[in-house]
Amino acid sequence: MTKTAFRALFLCAVAGALAFRTVRLDLRPMHADEANQAVKFGDLLERGDYRFDPKDHHGPTLYYLTLPAARAAGATTLAGLDERILRLVPALFGAALLVVFLLFSGGLSKEATLAAAALAAVSPALTYYSRFYIQETLLVVFLAALLGAGWRYTRRRSLLWALGAGVAAGLMFATKETSLILFAGLAAAFMAVSLIESVRTRRRGVVTAGDAWVWRDTRTKLPSGLHAAAFLAAGAAVAALFYTSFFRNPGGLADVLQAIGASFARAGHPGVHAHPWSTYFQILSYSKTAGGPVWSEAFLLFLATAGGIAALGHDAGRDGNPRFLRFILFFTVVTAAVYSLIPYKTPWNLLPFYLGLVILAGNGVALLLRISRFKLIKVLVLAVLVPGFADLALQAYRANFVYAADPANPYVYAQTGPDLLRLVAAVENAAAAAPEKRDMLVEVVAPPEETWPLPWYLRKFRQVGYWTDAASAHRDIGAARAGAVIASAAFADAVAEELGDGYVQTFYGLRPEVVLSLFVRSPR
């Protein structure tokens, strides 16, 4: 493939990635997790102050990296933000992932790199979660940057690449403290590749310059002490900067240790997020609900399997560097196993090992193209590849623009339903008719899991109170004469009795199997 053709096709892939990720970012209602992150960012935006919360939030990179987007949009308060501004940040990072793939040059062939970029551009999983204001997309991009910088370091043992790898690792840890799992996966893959290559070295003796890459080949040595120290120092410095709020909150360093413990405790006690070990691969391989379309990324799984098997072959270096490909294979297998065995599961947690699947799938495409020496075989390969890519693109379109909040979409998880927007519109209409306007008191009586994303949607109201049970709200509801009261279905009767006849009650769905009751004050 010529450089011109590669560049043209790669730019097409980037354009497709941007289209799937940045168009109509306000189409889907805010997820509870997104709203939680948005309100946390609002504190940073309005007061310029951030304090890491080890109990209920991940790392701070998402918030700090959102500041430029908010300021460019002219927003200075939480009320001045909208979904598009917030979601644009992970969306752009999701598209930037394709550019990071260029760091894999020499490890992947041009064909494999281009195929991996095209797969990432139209991946239903990657596109869907790139449109979420959560940390996972940033984590995947920083992971890819670490892989790329680390690979570049093995090619050219420079201090610059050691520092770059350290910065990427620090950003990973500053994004999610659970990135420790990924670091362990990287170490395990490193040891697996080292073991395999050391066995081959002992069996085959002296390695010639033209042979495949082996661990004891003097062309690729262990990092020097200086470079290893630079890597660790860069990673620690970057993580410390973010967790200490750029030295404004030194206690953040101790808090991150608490967060690590809390995260692993949550993993062992998942509650409603407990799912079988096979959940992630069920999502990827096949899903269908009554009346909904078929969803399947089996095409990508097939290509990844082919690319992984090819990485273990004796001629694995023909489409790239065998060490890089084997490293990606072992990392993917190890992290997929670990994430599958952890009882706590949310579907976006599959993204880190999904990255490995995309890279291996790119190598699988390169393998199929390489064996297509005869015209008939080439026709058969294209008959598989072209419809496969088209089907992924179609599923990405459905996932992001047709079934964005529909439970028939396997990537949807505890998603806020469109019915909540009607509740918010009813509150807005009540405020428009009330003499207080947006100074109207709005009271929410619901447990925390039934409260979000209301703080986001009620952000423009200046008087909003929250209670977690009807008893604690009892003394305030009747006397305050709220303009609107939003109550959990479990508290609806108690709230109705307390409010009396001066309110009109309606019901709205928050998400599947969760209903809220809205009480709007009748005009006097």
Which one is predicted more confidently, 89 or 320?
Answer: 89
**Does residue 475 form part of some domain?**
yes
> What's residue 271's pLDDT?
81
Residue 130 and residue 238 in one domain: yes
pLDDT of res. 476 = 65
In a domain, 217, yes or no: yes
H/E element, 191? helix 180-204
- Number of structural domains (the chain) is 2
Q: What span, in angstroms and rounded, lies between the C-alpha atoms of 34 and 82?
A: 12
Looking at the structure, tell me whether residues 372 and 516 fall in a common domain.
no
Task: Say what percent of the chain tops pLDDT 70.
Answer: 93
Query: 391 and 489 share a domain?
Result: no
Q: How confident is the model at residue 220 (pLDDT cuts 50, 70, 90)?
A: very low
pLDDT digits (tens, 9 = 90+) for 468-522: 877 777 666 655 678 899 999 999 998 888 888 888 999 999 998 899 999 998 8
The pLDDT of residue 163: 97
H-only helix segments in 101-179: 110-122, 124-130, 136-155, 159-175
pLDDT of res. 474: 67
pLDDT score of 206: 41
What is the pLDDT, as a whole number, of residue 252? Answer: 86
Q: What three-state secondary structure class fits 156?
A: coil
Distance CA 128, CA 17 (A): 11
Residue 314 pLDDT: 64
Same domain, 427 and 393: no
Work out the pLDDT band at 217, boundaries 50, 70, 90: very low
What pLDDT, in 10s, does the model give residues 101-118?
A: 999 998 999 999 999 999
On whether residue 283 sits in a domain, the answer given is yes
pLDDT at 234 over 60: yes
Q: Is-cis flag, bond preceding 54, omega within 30?
A: no
Residue 348 domain flag: yes
Judgement on whether residues 383 and 509 belong to the same structural domain of the protein = no
Q: How far apart are the first and last CA of the chain?
A: 76
Q: pTM surpassing 0.75?
A: yes
Please tell me the predicted confidence (pLDDT) of residue 347: 96
**37: nearest Cα among 20, 68, 58, 23:** 58
Verify that 499 and 376 share a domain, yes or no: no
The pLDDT value given to residue 134: 96
Q: Say if CB 485 and CB 477 are below 8 A apart.
A: yes
Is pLDDT of 5 > 60? yes
Q: What is the pLDDT of residue 477?
A: 62
The mean pLDDT of 348-353, rounded to a whole number, is: 96
Final residue of a structural domain among 352, 372, 402 = 402
Tokens of 446: 């619901």
Does one domain contain both 381 and 494? no
Residue 470's pLDDT is: 74
Long-range contacts of 176-184 (CB under 8 A, 24+ apart): 176/58, 176/59, 176/135, 176/136, 176/139, 177/58, 177/59, 177/256, 177/259, 177/260, 177/263, 178/58, 178/260, 178/263, 179/139, 179/143, 180/260, 181/335, 181/338, 181/339, 182/143, 182/335, 182/352, 184/338
Assigned domain for 410 exists: no
Average pLDDT over residues 368-383: 83
Query: What is the C-alpha separation between 319 and 369, in angstroms, rounded?
Result: 10
CATH number of the domain that residue 444 is part of = 3.40.190
Same domain, 217 and 350: yes
Confidence band (pLDDT; 50, 70, 90) for 214?
Answer: very low
**Does residue 466 sit in the same domain as residue 390?**
no
Q: Are residues 395 and 463 in the same domain?
A: no
Same domain, 305 and 445: no
Cα radius of gyration (the chain): 26
Domain end position, chosen among 402, 432, 466: 402
The whole-number pLDDT of residue 54 equals 82
Q: How confident is the model at residue 69 (pLDDT cuts 50, 70, 90)?
A: very high
* pLDDT, tens only, 272-305: 888 999 999 999 999 999 888 999 999 999 999 9
For 11-36, what is the mean pLDDT? Answer: 96
The answer to which of 107-116, 136-145, 256-265, 422-431 has the lowest mean pLDDT is 256-265
pLDDT of 137 over the 80 cut: yes
Query: Does 411 fall in a domain?
Result: no
pLDDT of residue 486: 95
Indicate whether 444 and 328 sit together in one domain.
no
Q: Which is more confidently placed, 217 or 241?
A: 241
Establish if 295 belongs to a structural domain. Answer: yes
Which of the pair, 370 or 375, is modelled with greater confidence?
370
212 has a pLDDT exceeding 70: no
43 has pLDDT over 50: yes
pLDDT above 50 (res 210): no
User: What's the mean pLDDT in 119-141?
Assistant: 97
Q: pLDDT per residue over 427-463, tens digit each?
A: 999 999 998 899 999 999 999 889 999 999 999 999 9
Instruction: Specify the pLDDT at position 208.
Output: 43
Among 146-150, 220-224, 435-439, name the one with the lowest average pLDDT: 220-224
Q: How confident is the model at residue 223 (pLDDT cuts 50, 70, 90)?
A: confident
Does residue 203 have a pLDDT over 70? Answer: no
Average pLDDT of the residues of the chain: 90
Q: What is the mean pLDDT of residues 76-89?
A: 95
Residue 453's domain comprises: 419-521
In a domain, 320, yes or no: yes
> Is the pLDDT at 363 greater than 50, yes or no?
yes
- Check residue 333 and give its pLDDT: 97
Q: What is the pLDDT of residue 201?
A: 54
Query: Which of 333, 367, 402 marks a domain boundary?
Result: 402
